[in-house]
Structure 1
Amino acid sequence: MTKPSIETYYENNQWKSRRQSSERAFSVGGTKAEQQATGRAAAQKDRVEHLIKKQDGTIGERNSYGNDPNPPRG
């Protein structure tokens, strides 16, 4: 079974991080940079993709820390 990606997003005037399979955030509050660091650490630990959304909800950045389906060519 594949582990869910980690998502850092803005909701109800707060930055949050959660696993995409969950409705509930595992970390809430602080600045966007603080939540990005929390989300990055969780994604690296789980070896999954980290999606960082902008305040408007669009994806601003994605980073893969596991099995990248499109690895860089050399």
Structure 2
Amino acid sequence: MANQHIVPNNGQWQVKRENATRATKTFDTQKEAIAYGRNIAIHQESELVIHDRHGRIRDKDSYGNDPCPPKDTRF
């Protein structure tokens, strides 16, 4: 499935599917957009990409389809 991006747009925050031209949904706060986008990413087993207010990526969370999973450190 496609990754979900949390992006700024004219003082609001949008949840956008990767490579989509239109937003899935628009919110007044980044916190609301992250919660909504996280729910989609969990159900689609994709990645949530959070951008800052300047559009730069500030965080990523993977929910089941991590291209670089962390190595198990247990012995």
C-alpha root-mean-square deviation of aligned residues, in Å?
0.9
Paired AA for residue 7 in structure 2: Y
| Aligned-partner SS, 2:42 | helix
Q: Which runs of 5+ in 1 are unaligned?
A: none
Normalising to structure 2: TM-score of the pair?
0.89
Give the Å deviation of 1:69: 1.3
Q: Does 1:28 align with 2:38?
A: no
User: Deviation above 3 Å: which 4+ runs of structure 1?
Assistant: none
Give the Å deviation of 1:12: 1.5
Give the Å deviation of 1:41: 0.4
Q: Does 1:41 align with 2:39?
A: yes
Question: How many residues are treated as equivalent by the alignment?
Answer: 72
Query: What percentage of aligned pairs have identical amino acids?
Result: 33
Normalising to structure 1: TM-score of the pair?
0.90
Give the Å deviation of 1:30: 2.2
Paired AA for residue 63 in structure 2: Y
Give the Å deviation of 1:66: 1.9
C-alpha distance in 1 between matches for 2:41 and 2:27: 18
Give the Å deviation of 1:18: 1.0
Q: Does 1:11 align with 2:5?
A: no
Give the Å deviation of 1:72: 1.1
Q: Which runs of 5+ in 2 are unaligned?
A: none
